[in-house]
Structures are given as structure tokens and as C-alpha cells.
Structure 1
Amino acid sequence: MTDRYDTGRTAVLLVDPYNDFLSEGGKLWSRLAPVADEVGLLRNLRAVVDAARTAGLLVAFVPHRRYEEGDYVGWDHPNPTQRKARRLRLFARDSWGGEFHPDFQPRPGDLRIAEHWAQSGFANTDLDCRLKQHGVTHVILIGLLANTCVESTGRFAMELGYHVTLVTDATAAFSADMLRAAHELNGPTYAHAIVTTAELVHTLSG
């Protein structure tokens, strides 16, 4: 675990905090709820974001592509997640499900990154450029899903030279096995620190 974070060089990346994921009635909430409730996802997301703001860390919203009519039509090889997004119209633009959860709204000074089409928040977006313009060297990943967008964004961050922290209970997946794989099996292959919300909040509080 990292003993401290330089507030001027650290950003929290909040991945995909959409109503379709996090709110009752969201298209994916019923699948996510068992694991989310078990780890205290919403409580821990609030705690990390609040601690980050109090400590003066940069907060970046890293959103998935919001579905629009015509997305993925004619693509040679949309991946399974993209096919599902088209079928379910996930995070549809101008819909309640495609809005951020009310507890996680951008504030002045936050970054709202361009939407990613697949799983990495860095691929084909402005995330790397904007973090570097703010002098960020350390990223703390929270949000959804642990084994897809969070993991892919974290791996890409490592490849780009960032120090990567995963917060085990400030993310979730569709099964306990998927969550365990993301943190216990895959996380140690790329993350520099893997912590709980309580550990991170304690560190940020100094």
C-alpha cells in the first residue's frame, strides 16, 4: 500500500456511475445489487469521493458510451458487451438510466472525460492528456465494473506509467467470483496498491 498520496499529483477515476448501474430500477442494478450490497458499494463510493474532495484530489468522471440509435450498426466485430449495450440500450443518452447517480454529480473543477466505447477509459478518449495536463501521476480507480472497465482502465494506466490503486469495496461485479478475480487474481499483476475504502480514507485523511 502507498503510505501517502501527493494531492497535486493524484486523481480519483470514477468509472461509469450511471443510474442504470447504481440506482434501483436501473437496467443492470438487479444483477449488480447482491454484490454491491455485500461490499457496501454506494456507501464506499461516497466515502472515497468525499475523502478525495476534502483532501484536494482531482476527481475525474470516466463514463461509458451512452447508447444512441444506430450505435454499433454495421460494425465488423462489436464485442459481447457492445452487443448487449445495443440490445438493452444501456445508459441511453437523454434517459434517466444514462444520467449519473444523484450522489455522484460533477462539481466545478472535476474532469468529465470523453465517453469510452469499449472498456478502457483511456482508449480513444482524452483521459491521458487531461491527467497529464494536471500533473497527475497516481490514479485511484473506483466505480464499475471491477472486472471490465475498472480493470481495463487500470491496466491501461499502468502501461502509460501511472501508479495505480484499486479500492476493493468501492467497485462491484455481477458475481462474487468476478469481483474476487478482479482483485485477488488479476489486480496484483498490474496495480501498485490494492486497498479497502477504510484504508484509503485513513491515508487521505493524513
Structure 2
Amino acid sequence: MSAPRYSRDHTALLLVDPYNDFLSEGGKLNARAKPVADAVNTLANLRAVVSAVRAAQLQIFYVPHHRARPDDFAAWKHPSPYQLGASRAQVFAVDSWGGEWHPNFQPQAGDVVVQEHWGGSGFANTDLDLQLKQHGIQQVILVGMLANTCIESTGKYGAELGYHVTLVRDATAAFSPEAMHAAHEINGPTYAHAILSSAELIAALQG
């Protein structure tokens, strides 16, 4: 798949859930993602993509998952199994190291940190769509965690809203090779306008 053109004025990077619990040794979910992340070199590719995006002067939007608090879902009628599991483990807990940004992905001046999403999509029940529109964004590049959950849900929702969506297959990870394959080879082509490697994206940004 050839890389599209990425206009500085109309393209943004969506950096999804760059938390210590996912990306740092000792994080609550790091060990589960590590085999796939190591196989595709996720952390190094994330660093390279973010660096290239900053060099190209594209806008970066942080798209964070809800930071857990005890009893978040005690009064909810229909929390999902995924939400309940995360709540039991207190993933990305408020005021915890695991709920802090990975040291390599600290927001910088001019970055936009959108409202935390409760489920998989960074768009649902947040200000992401509003923020993108107010910044004149038409194309979004998705990186972060996890490929088959928040990346996929955010990408699908973005496509439904009319955004041009690019997935970066090796700047994410999943808990199994099968989940990673499904995200990029089976489900991704049903909604993404481009599915690129980090090297292909960086070449497009530099070109």
C-alpha cells in the first residue's frame, strides 16, 4: 500500500495510551504485550514516529484511556467485561506510576491531551472529534496501544466520522500474534485508508 501525502495543516498523530502500564518494564500490562512488542520493535518505532512527526511539525493529540479509580463501575448497569477486568487490576490507576506517561512520550508545548476514553474508542464520549475539527484536521495517523482494541476502535470511529485513517502496523502491539494479525490484515483493510510500516510513514513525512 503506497503512502498518501500528509499535509502539515490537515494531518495529526493520535498517540493512544502511551502509559507506563503498557510500555514500561514492570507495567501491569507490559508483560502481556512484550512478546509482540519485541517482535515488531514497538517502542523504538513509536519513538521514531513521534520524532518524525514533531520534525514535520504535525499536531500531536494524546488519546488516553480512563485512569482507573476503585469502584469506577459499581453503579454502572452495563460495564463491559473488558472494563471490569481493567477495573479489577486498576490498570492506569489514578496517581500511580502505571497511569503516568512513558518517559519517552511526555506531552510537549502545543500538544493536545484529549479527554480520557472509557471504552475502546478515543472518540466516544470525549472531545477528540471537536479538537480535531477545531485544529482543521482531516487525516489521522494512529499509533500506540493496543492494535486490536483502542487503536482499532478509534480508527473505525474516525473513518465513520469522515477522517482519513492511517494505521502504523509496527508502532503498536497486542497481547498475541493472532490479535495483531487480525488488527492489520483482517479488520484494518475494512476501514483504514493506509496501513504502513513506521519506515514507510517516516519516508512519507520526510518526502
Q: Which residue identity is paired with 1:117?
A: W
Residue aligned with 2:62, SS: strand
Could you tell me how far 1:81 is from its partner in structure 2? 1.2
1:114 and 2:123 are equivalent in the alignment: no
Other-structure match for 1:134: 135
Q: Which residue identity is paired with 1:19?
A: N
Other-structure match for 1:47: 48
Other-structure match for 1:92: 93
Other-structure match for 1:148: 149
The answer as to whether partners of 2:4 and 2:194 remain within 8 angstroms in 1 is: no
Could you tell me how far 1:68 is from its partner in structure 2? 1.1
TM-score by length of 1: 0.99
**CA–CA distance in structure 1, aligned partners of residues 58 and 175 of structure 2:** 29
Could you tell me how far 1:3 is from its partner in structure 2? 3.2
Other-structure match for 1:68: 69
Q: Which residue identity is paired with 2:58?
A: L
Residue aligned with 1:117, SS: coil
Other-structure match for 1:159: 160
Q: Which residue identity is paired with 1:157?
A: G
Could you tell me how far 1:2 is from its partner in structure 2? 3.4
Q: Which residue identity is paired with 1:151?
A: E
**CA–CA distance in structure 1, aligned partners of residues 49 and 22 of structure 2:** 18
Other-structure match for 1:186: 187
The answer as to whether partners of 2:11 and 2:137 remain within 8 angstroms in 1 is: yes
**CA–CA distance in structure 1, aligned partners of residues 136 and 111 of structure 2:** 14
**CA–CA distance in structure 2, aligned partners of residues 190 and 4 of structure 1:** 18
Structure 1 unaligned runs (5+)?
Answer: none
Other-structure match for 1:18: 19
Q: How many residues align?
A: 206
- Structure 1 residues 115-165: Cα deviation after superposition (integer angstroms, max 9, x where no partner): 000000000000000000010000000001000000000000000000000
Residue aligned with 2:165, SS: strand
Residue aligned with 1:150, SS: helix
- Structure 1 residues 48-98: Cα deviation after superposition (integer angstroms, max 9, x where no partner): 100000001000100000001220112112111111111100100100000
**CA–CA distance in structure 2, aligned partners of residues 56 and 131 of structure 1:** 16
Q: Which residue identity is paired with 2:198?
A: T
RMSD, aligned CA = 0.6
Other-structure match for 2:202: 201
Q: Indicate the percent of aligned positions where both proteins have the same amino acid.
A: 62
Residue aligned with 1:169, SS: coil
Residue aligned with 2:76, SS: coil
The answer as to whether partners of 2:61 and 2:111 remain within 8 angstroms in 1 is: yes
The answer as to whether partners of 2:3 and 2:201 remain within 8 angstroms in 1 is: no
TM-score by length of 2: 0.98
Runs of 4+ aligned residues of structure 1 deviating over 6 Å after TM superposition are none
